[in-house]
Structure 1
Amino acid sequence: MRGAGQRLRLDTLDRVAGPGRGWHGPQVDPRALRVGVVHLGLGAFHRAHQAVFTELAAAATGRDDWGIAGVTQRSAAVREQLVPQDGLYSVLERGADGPALRVVGSVREVLHGGGDPAAVVDRIADPAVRVVTVTVTEKGYRRDGRGGLDRSDPEVVADLTGRPPRTAVGQLVRGLQARRSRGGAPVTVLSCDNLSGNGRVLRGLVHEFVAALPAAQGAGLADWITGAVRFPSCMVDRIVPATRDEDRADANRLLGLEDRGVVVTEPFRQWVIEDDFAADRPTWERAGALFTTDVAGWEAVKLRTLNATHSLLAYLGALSGYDTIAAALSDDRLAAAAEALMVEDVTPTLRVPDGLDLAGYRRQVLARFANPALRHRTVQVAMDGSQKLPVRLLGTVRDRLSAGVVPRHATLAVAAWMVYVARGWDVRGRELPLDDPLADRLRAAASADADPSRLVDSLLRVSEIFGPDLPEHGGFRAVLTEQVMRLRTDLNGSSSHHPY
């Protein structure tokens, strides 16, 4: 095997590159790239999505000033993977035609926010940086029950009191504060997380953080941010499962080198971006991104159609003993529930963007979910339900309730989450992990032997998820209780994989 036993690096990549190699190398020369983007949250999704778009955009224009300085948040694992590899990693696409591999070279610097927060602040302050992108997941924004900055969060408190910042919002504000002191070059902060109006949300959190600073620190900063910083919204879409040993083995075989940073994904990728930038930006449209003045329609379609259906299949599938989303979708009853959620509950709530074929989009979503090569685990999609339900499902629930209809399939997804939280094991007796920032609260609220009505009432009282309105809606609560009862009865009494 070419380069067997050697680690992916710039010098080893040069040795194995050549005609007929069966994979694509970086589309730009990584050695020539200068940093122009800081990215907070250097996880698998960013490396499979925005980093790929950014490299392709740089290649299309010949620009050498759009390298990325990626910031890992809590864990140094990604830094340990990528620094010895000169920032290089491979993206393994798994589609119907077999795997395809590309090596990406757009990440030119890897910082550990927890270990060296001063370096993160310094990079954000650098005038050469004109864009800061963010993928820290819903929970990384550290919001309270009303959606604002959680001033009771110990990490937020510590950042506000002056320690080197370790939260994403704290890093942003301290970086912007330092940037202002170094001349105040304009910059764009682009949230790429699954939040409705993600740019607006992040702008609000930044301003709340600034308002909470001591007067001497925050003086004038809010006004400068208002004038010099833009917070556009965007919608991102690409399925990126957790990388498995099998994926690493396939990447290493195709590449002929050991790559400890490989990420796995599907061939599909989409990025819809609000065209509101404070300064220069990569020409992401040359890589297939869509720029628009109205992201909200695209965002709602994706969150309510794709993400909500993903969650429905994750909870029902995991309870039913299915390890992957594709396996769950192979169950005719789960597939019918997914289709009905999209058609009957979600579609009446959408304002469809111009040029989008909604029926075709639904078919495409199901086809992507059915890709058996991805092996996207149900329990991975089930993570952080307390953060995901409000943005994926509960907007649809509220909109349909306001129209006088209880959305049965959206409610089924919420019921499946409740049973998942309370039950803790699938039909095969295997443990289901509760990986959620509110895990302790949820465990205290849920009891495996509680009757359905008590379970529903108890979990509906978690106001960070359901707010003050949904617990008071008798029709929603009644249907939710009925579905929890049916799910639990069928799971306890059936040896099949059908959850209801």
Structure 2
Amino acid sequence: MTSAILQFGTSRFLQAHVDLFVDQALQREQALGRITVVQTTGNAQSAQRVDAFNAPGGYPVRIRGCVDGEVIEQEHRVTAVEAGLHADRDWAAIRELASTSVQVIVSNTGDKGYELSDQDGPELLDAALPPRSFPAKLLVLLHQRYLRGAAPVTLYPCELVADNGTVLRDLVRRLAHAWKLDSGFIVYLGKGCVWVNSLVDRIVSEAIEPAGAVAEPYAIWVIEAQKKMVLPCTHPQIVVTDKLEPYERRKLFLLNLGHSFLAEHWQQHQRPQDETVLQAMSNPKARAQLEAAWEEEVLPVFDALGEGDIARAYLAEVRDRFCNPFLAHRLADIAQNHEEKKRRRMLPVVALANKMELPLAQPRLRAALKLAAARAAQAA
């Protein structure tokens, strides 16, 4: 096995976004190579996906929606995934791969993917089993790569965390210090490896079992330019930019916040369990509250930043995406880790308005955050 790209995460999102991008680029001979996917959890569905990745023939991705009034219905057969591995079962093979042919590491490990584990320690550097946390797994893999003299890699975290590459780099370096690893390795982590801040944006509404997904036509992967970085592929929907923050802000404050706002209404009003984003947007009360939150509590922040026009243009796209009649994007799925998502998506809007001393009451966002704080206190 000599994959150029190592991917942590088996999610339907990665299947319909990063993996599809690489697959399409491979057809044009514009990708580094194929992908090895690593499952890092004990989730049974993820294990089934790993088995499917190892089956011949690839998996389907269905693109459904409307672009400029034209209906798009396509099915792609993704064959870019060379192999699926399980961290607990295949750790030796993963270590060997990470120390040799891999040039790029991609991850999307979920909302809690950067959490550390008290069970992880330096004794795992040479152990047969992997660490529990994703940052510690990376540390072990990069340490072995360093000892074997392999060139530094480029890492593309895709988790929805601001400055995700910087955050992950600092986590891994702090672990290296805590484990008392040598100074040369710590320099290798910080100045050799390239930790790229990036943003991914595509609504992937349904899984196709055991592997595959249904997604909208809109997709973008925004990558913050860095010296020495190696791109996994070139693709029309990959944007390399010197300024990632405006893209992040629009997605977080408008699309992601909008999803969580609808999920909050769904929970509070005990809406049907299988309600979708489209159905919520067709509900006059839910739609009116969301539109008011966008117009009165979010867009004025963009106006104050001088980004009002481009934010409104992006919001027009978001409305069309939320009203896509071909996607069954269930609010129950969006509501997973709901309180944490609310804090990540709503609190920065309120904090930024406060920082700029804007005369905004933001009652809807503050009410949602207050409820999140109350639930956190009850849980404690």
Where structure 1 has 5 or more consecutive residues not aligned to the other structure, the ranges are 1-32, 143-149, 249-258, 422-441, 447-461, 463-500
**Aligned partners of 2:261 and 2:290 also within 8 Å:** yes
Match of residue 90 from structure 2: 116
Does 2:334 align with 1:334?
no
Equivalent in the alignment of 1:265? 215
Instruction: Give the 5 Å matches for 1:96-495.
Output: 96=66, 97=71, 99-126=73-100, 128-142=101-115, 150=116, 153-154=117-118, 157-162=119-124, 163=127, 164-213=130-179, 215=180, 217-243=181-207, 248=208, 260-276=210-226, 278-284=228-234, 286-320=235-269, 321-322=271-272, 323-350=275-302, 351=305, 357-402=310-355, 403=357, 404-414=359-369, 442=376, 445=378
SS in 1 for 2:38: strand
Decide whether aligned partners of structure 1 residues 282 and 189 sit closer, same or farther in structure 2, where only a CA change above 3 A counts. Answer: closer
Q: Distance in 2 between matches of 1:279 and 1:417?
A: 39
- Do the aligned residues in 2 keep the contact of 1:160 with 1:209 (CA within 8 Å)? no
Query: What displacement does 1:287 show?
Result: 3.0
Greater share of strand: 2
Counterpart in 2 of 1:78?
49
Deviations 1:64-117 (A, max 9, x none): 74211111111323212221235x111012224364211011111211113222
Q: Deviations over 1:209-234 (max 9, x none)?
A: 11111x3x444211111221111111
User: Could you tell me how far apart the structure 2 residues matched to 1:64 and 1:372 are?
Assistant: 33
Check conservation: 2:22, 2:31, Cα contact below 8 A.
Answer: no
Shift of 1:63: 4.7
2:135 counterpart SS class: helix
Distance 1:277 1:109 in 2: 30
- 313-322 vs 131-140, which moves further: 313-322
Q: Is the 8 A contact 2:250 2:314 kept in 1?
A: no
Letter of the structure 1 residue corresponding to residue 40 of structure 2: Q
Could you tell me how far apart the structure 2 residues matched to 1:372 and 1:411 are?
A: 31
d(CA) in 2 for partners of 1:41, 1:180: 23
2:215 partner amino acid: T
Q: Secondary structure at the match of 1:380?
A: helix
Name the CA distance, whole Å, in 1 between partners of 2:331 and 2:61.
22
Whole-Å separation in 2 of the counterparts to 1:277 and 1:66: 21
Mapped partners of 1:172, 1:124: distance in 2: 9
1:374 & 1:407 partners in 2: Cα distance? 30
Identity score, percent? 27
**2:4: which partner in 1?**
36
- What amino acid maps onto 1:81 in structure 2? A
1:155-195: CA deviation from partner (whole Å, max 9, x where unpaired)? xx335442522421112111110111111302111111111
Report SS of the residue matched to 2:204. coil
SS of corresponding position for 2:55:
helix
| TM-score, length of structure 2 as denominator length | 0.87
TM-score normalised by L of structure 1: 0.67
Residues in 2 aligned to 1:385 and 1:375: alpha-carbon distance in whole angstroms: 19
- When residues 58 and 185 of structure 1 are mapped into structure 2, their CA distance, relative to the original with a 3 A threshold, is same
Shift of 1:375: 1.1
Aligned to 2:65: 95
Q: How many residues align?
A: 361
3-state DSSP class of the match of 2:35? strand
Q: Residue type of the partner of 1:268?
A: Y
> How far, CA to CA, are the matches of 1:47 and 1:37 in structure 2?
14
Residue 51 of structure 1 corresponds to 19
Q: Which structure is richer in relative contact order (CA contacts within 8 A, separation 6 or more)?
A: 2
Taking only aligned residues, the RMSD between alpha carbons, in angstroms, comes to: 2.5
Distance 2:306 2:24 in 1: 29
1:307 aligned partner, one-letter code: N
Counterpart amino acid of 2:56?
Q
Say which SS state the counterpart of residue 410 (structure 1) adopts. Answer: helix
Q: Is the 8 A contact 1:91 1:103 kept in 2?
A: yes
* Amino acid corresponding to residue 90 of structure 1 in structure 2: P
In 1, Cα distance between equivalents of 2:72 and 2:231:
34
Distance, in Å, in 1 between the alignment partners of 2:307 and 2:26 is 29
Q: Is the 1:130–1:279 contact (alpha carbons within 8 Å) kept by the matching residues of 2?
A: no
Q: Is the 8 A contact 2:153 2:194 kept in 1?
A: yes
Conservation of the 8 A alpha-carbon contact between 2:120 and 2:136: no
Secondary structure (helix, strand or coil) at the match of 2:120 reads helix
Asked whether the 8 Å contact 1:124–1:175 carries over to 2, the reply is yes
Label 1:281 to 1:412 Cα distance change in 2 as closer, same or farther (>3 A): same
Please give the per-residue CA displacement for 1:280-310, whole angstroms capped at 9, x wherever unaligned: 32342x3321100111111111111110111
The structure with the largest alpha-carbon Rg is 1
Give how far 1:46 is off.
0.6
Q: 1:196: how far off?
A: 1.0
Contact kept, 8 Å, 1:121 with 1:178, in 2: the verdict is yes
Q: Quick check: 1:315–1:413 contact (8 Å CA) kept in 2?
A: yes
Alpha-carbon distance between aligned partners in 2 of 1:405 and 1:100, rounded to the nearest angstrom: 44
